[in-house]
Structure 1
Amino acid sequence: MTIRTQLWIGGQWRDAADARTFVDRRPEDDGEYAVAARAGDADVDAAVAAAHAAYQGYRYTLAREREAWMLRAAQLLEERADAFAEVLIDEIGSPVMKARFEIQYAIGHLRTAAGLPRRACGQTLPSDSPGRFGMSVREPLGVFACITPFNVPLIKAMKQCTGPLATGNTVVMLASEEAPVLGAKVAELFHDAGFPPGTFNLLTGIGHEIGDRLVEAPQVRALNFTGSTRVGRHLSELCGRHLKRALLELGGKNPMLILEDADLDVAVPGAVMGMFLYQGQACMAASRILVARPLYETFLERFAAAANSLSLGSLREPSTVIGPIISERQRQRIRDHIADAQAKGARLLTGGEWVGNRCRPTILTGVREGMTCYREETFGPVTAVYPVDDLDHALALANDSAYGLSAAVYTRSLESALKASQQLHAGMVHVNAPTLYDEPHVPFGGVGDSGMGREGAVTDIDHCTEWKWVTIQMPGAAHAH
């Protein structure tokens, strides 16, 4: 039966003002999964107005209240894990293993965010004026626009929305057009956890139709966005024009360095996990694997065998790793990248075939400048493996990219690990572990075309609040001495 979803504005479910809808399709077979409300400009304005009105009181809620709501949301998500998993499987094509991981991460993020309200501390400051007491305090910004992607919609809803909510801001979340049902379940979760009406609002619709309207709304003071570099650059321009704070988590072309002293028993599974989880639809996927020449042929043989062993079975089977690609547009992008590389001389080591809407894990060699996939993010189960002479050669190739999200290096040498961690142009570097890794409390983000700002509890307080300096002059104190 087709699911029907509405917008969540001011604590109420409602249809789009003009009653428009759009079809949300299952990536497994492109069948109709849901009919969702298609928000327009009037709905954006209503959601922002509701968030702004709620902010006037919510900003003064107590730390213990916001803490309790976060913890209640975590408890409810734990209780509803099976229902959320079903949506992640059917709506975005998550294998159950990835869906369960996403839910557990989201629970952890809620519990981590519950600690933020009590950590938004200020300072006392000395003054040059006699008898003057100085202090600095943190205040929330106001309304946050949070625009989430399809690939990890639950994780990103928690990452983008909990920091603002924990620090006294309110939120309008624009869910990916590929994941409106998941967005509705998040709205229901926050409501049932006790967050006051209007503090969290949900818009569903077509991003390019209403995204600009949301970001440019005068009452929106900050943007949290995850998506493509092209769209992120455009939204950053809008924020700059209107002096709004922006956190952008964008694309990646992530390098994995496998040095001559690497343990292939660790590196091969790391490459498989780092590249092919959720069929490569991850900003941290290891789409460039740089292998020391003495290990190159052996690594290719073992990596190809491991990739070919990955299951394309039922999404509800725990052993399944490779699921369907999200949409026909993205499937065509993957086909084009593979065909372009082959036409220009790259070798297809394995993969390239399709089983329904699933692309088998694909490994290319001989990829070079001029091929589309050399610099562009494919966002599918496609990686290229390159031989390198030494660490310096590997670092030069790894840094030859406009992106800089995540990187990994496999080595037994502490010296090599430290050198790589210092010289890799990336926001995150993992030693003897995959490029694809995250935790709720860490500063998560990239450099260059991979974005700006950092997600995670350790940076949320700075991102979601602003400083105010307050002084108090004691009467008569200036002349007391």
Structure 2
Amino acid sequence: MALKKLNFWIGGEFRAAQSNATFVDHTPVDDSPYAEVARAAVEDVQLAAEAAHAAFASYRDTTPGQRETWLGKAADLLEQRKDAFADVLIDEIGSPLLKAHFEIKYAIAHLRTAAGIPRRITGQTLPSDVPGRFSMSVREPLGVFACITPFNVPLIKAMKQCTGPLATGNTVVLLASEEAPALAILVAELFRDAGFPAGSFNVLTGFGHEIGDDLVTHPRVKGVNFTGSTRVGRHLSALCGKHMKRALLELGGKNPLIILKDADLDAAVHAAVFGMFLFQGQACMASSRILVEAPIYDEFLSRYKAAAAGVGYGDLRSPKTMLGPIISQRQRDRIRHHIDDAVAHGATLETGGKWVGNRCLPTILTGVDSRMVCYQEETFGPVTAVYKVGSADAALALANDNCYGLSAAVFTQNLDEAMRISQGIHAGMVHVNAPTLHDEPHVPFGGVGDSGMGREGAQTDIDHCTEWKWITIQAPGASHGH
């Protein structure tokens, strides 16, 4: 069967790279070729940024009703096309069916939520000390947004990063992960068919390390939305600072799940399995540190090991499968290194550490300490460490002994303790009696520390994607005193 060929979407048309360069996208189940994809270079970035800038001149003046209609239509179309999207999520990035459906359902909800943004872009009237002067502030779109998305939830992140700018009158150049270009092209077709004008939404495919800097520093680009590693996030943050660009960075996590002695153990075990092993731990919100109070530690560990051993890893299209393949050889090597390093330095491998093809089976470590790479670093695979703690305060101290601060969770039946810990924990999001892995379209989603800066979500998109302008009107003949 011939490989599908994928081109950029620029200015309302599909285009090959100007050099005709391509790369091969592989399916992670067996690393077989999945698609031949246009590979962007600096001249392609230039073309996309200029197309988005040219479209901005008229797109900024589209009405709230128009943008609301396009976003709503995109949600309806995604619902109609969910099987095609699920196929790409499964075949291109190795999503189990459960996770693919989870992602599509979220994306539809996000589009519907974003459709409400255009009518909420409000300004203010302000009092003035100058007699006869009317003073007001209004919000204006910035211009072109560069949106750089990861492989793990490419549909969710395309919606989170791109709909805020589009809803507020900005235009977008999406640079998709090199692991998920086919999904980005499906999104381009979705927005095209929903009615978004040519040039308002553009897609580049290629390698971030080759063209990411060119896109972020392009003079036409005014805002940057990035999801990815902390290392790359720091680099892009420095570029944005140097070039005075607005940036929203959603980076890594090393998320603590605290289980106190009065917790509902059934619920806590379920949260630890779902929050760690959904999509084989390739999630920034994964529960990669589980801190269990001593009186229930042994029972929790025993139950958790049994539950982890029962996680399905069969056919990706089976609803019983939770665990799929790790995305790339580089990432597989990283996971192996984290496990081997921990064991070499004295950690105990309670379960897992084995591979079936490109799948790493659910892996639980104990005895992990600061000498080990996985103590501080994000593994981004199905590997977690369980720690015994002597008290709630000890759990809180250990939870905060980390440079990340994305998501956290605490299981307890003591509401006072839940509130105290949720307020004391250094994280952008805390869930009580629920997994660390949770998101909704309208909430301020994001982290602190090395987990990033800024917040995704409809509630915060208006601030992030618009600029205030102050306008005064002096009545003719009125006093101009100060």
Match for residue 301 of structure 2?
300
* Partner secondary structure for residue 119 of structure 2: coil
How far off is 1:265 after superposition? 1.1
Match for residue 92 of structure 2?
91
Match for residue 115 of structure 1?
116
8 Å contact from structure 2 (residues 96, 316) kept in 1: yes
8 Å contact from structure 2 (residues 99, 278) kept in 1: yes
Match for residue 180 of structure 2?
179
Task: State how far apart, in whole Å, the 2-side matches of 1:321 and 1:62 are.
Answer: 43
How far off is 1:111 after superposition? 0.3
8 Å contact from structure 2 (residues 250, 453) kept in 1: yes
* Partner secondary structure for residue 434 of structure 1: coil
* Partner secondary structure for residue 237 of structure 1: helix
1:449 aligns with 2:434: no
Task: State how far apart, in whole Å, the 1-side matches of 2:273 and 2:4 are.
Answer: 35
* Partner secondary structure for residue 437 of structure 1: coil
Deviations, residues 96-154 of structure 1 (Å, cap 9, x unaligned): 00000100000000000000000000010110000000000000000000000000000
Task: State how far apart, in whole Å, the 1-side matches of 2:456 and 2:219 are.
Answer: 24
Match for residue 188 of structure 1?
189
Alignment of 1:13-52 (within 5 A): 13-52=14-53
How far off is 1:476 after superposition? 1.8
Gaps of 5+ in 2: none
* Partner secondary structure for residue 118 of structure 2: coil
Alignment of 1:58-77 (within 5 A): 58-77=59-78
How far off is 1:3 after superposition? 1.4
Q: In percent, how many aligned pairs have the same letter? A: 71
Match for residue 250 of structure 2?
249
What is the total number of aligned residue pairs between the two structures?
480
Task: State how far apart, in whole Å, the 1-side matches of 2:476 and 2:35 are.
Answer: 66
Amino acid at match of 1:158: M
Distance 1:130 1:282, change over 3 A: same
Match for residue 411 of structure 1?
412
Deviations, residues 443-465 of structure 1 (Å, cap 9, x unaligned): 00000000000000000000000
Match for residue 364 of structure 1?
365
* Partner secondary structure for residue 459 of structure 1: helix
8 Å contact from structure 2 (residues 130, 480) kept in 1: no
Task: State how far apart, in whole Å, the 2-side matches of 1:405 and 1:206 are.
Answer: 26
* Partner secondary structure for residue 478 of structure 1: coil
Deviations, residues 222-254 of structure 1 (Å, cap 9, x unaligned): 000000000000000000000000000000000
Amino acid at match of 1:157: A
1:207 aligns with 2:208: yes
Alignment of 1:358-397 (within 5 A): 358-397=359-398
Deviations, residues 346-391 of structure 1 (Å, cap 9, x unaligned): 0000000000000000000000011000000000000000000111
Task: State how far apart, in whole Å, the 1-side matches of 2:276 and 2:98 are.
Answer: 15
Match for residue 228 of structure 1?
229
Alignment of 1:316-327 (within 5 A): 316-327=317-328
Task: State how far apart, in whole Å, the 2-side matches of 1:201 and 1:43 are.
Answer: 11
Task: State how far apart, in whole Å, the 2-side matches of 1:269 and 1:420 are.
Answer: 21
Task: State how far apart, in whole Å, the 2-side matches of 1:217 and 1:329 are.
Answer: 30
Alignment of 1:3-14 (within 5 A): 3-14=4-15
Deviations, residues 414-438 of structure 1 (Å, cap 9, x unaligned): 0110001100000000000000000
Task: State how far apart, in whole Å, the 1-side matches of 2:134 and 2:208 are.
Answer: 49
* Partner secondary structure for residue 173 of structure 1: strand
Deviations, residues 7-43 of structure 1 (Å, cap 9, x unaligned): 0000010100000000000000000001100011000
Alignment of 1:452-467 (within 5 A): 452-467=453-468
Alignment of 1:213-292 (within 5 A): 213-292=214-293
Deviations, residues 49-83 of structure 1 (Å, cap 9, x unaligned): 00000000000000000000000000000000000
Amino acid at match of 2:217: E
* Partner secondary structure for residue 477 of structure 1: coil
* Partner secondary structure for residue 22 of structure 1: strand
How far off is 1:477 after superposition? 2.6
Gaps of 5+ in 1: none
Distance 1:479 1:263, change over 3 A: closer
Amino acid at match of 1:125: L
Match for residue 154 of structure 2?
153
How far off is 1:478 after superposition? 2.1
Deviations, residues 303-336 of structure 1 (Å, cap 9, x unaligned): 0000000111100000100000000110010000
Amino acid at match of 1:67: E
How far off is 1:479 after superposition? 8.2
Task: State how far apart, in whole Å, the 2-side matches of 1:346 and 1:22 are.
Answer: 40
Task: State how far apart, in whole Å, the 2-side matches of 1:153 and 1:115 are.
Answer: 22
Task: State how far apart, in whole Å, the 1-side matches of 2:447 and 2:212 are.
Answer: 23
Task: State how far apart, in whole Å, the 2-side matches of 1:458 and 1:369 are.
Answer: 38
Task: State how far apart, in whole Å, the 1-side matches of 2:362 and 2:459 are.
Answer: 35
Match for residue 472 of structure 1?
473
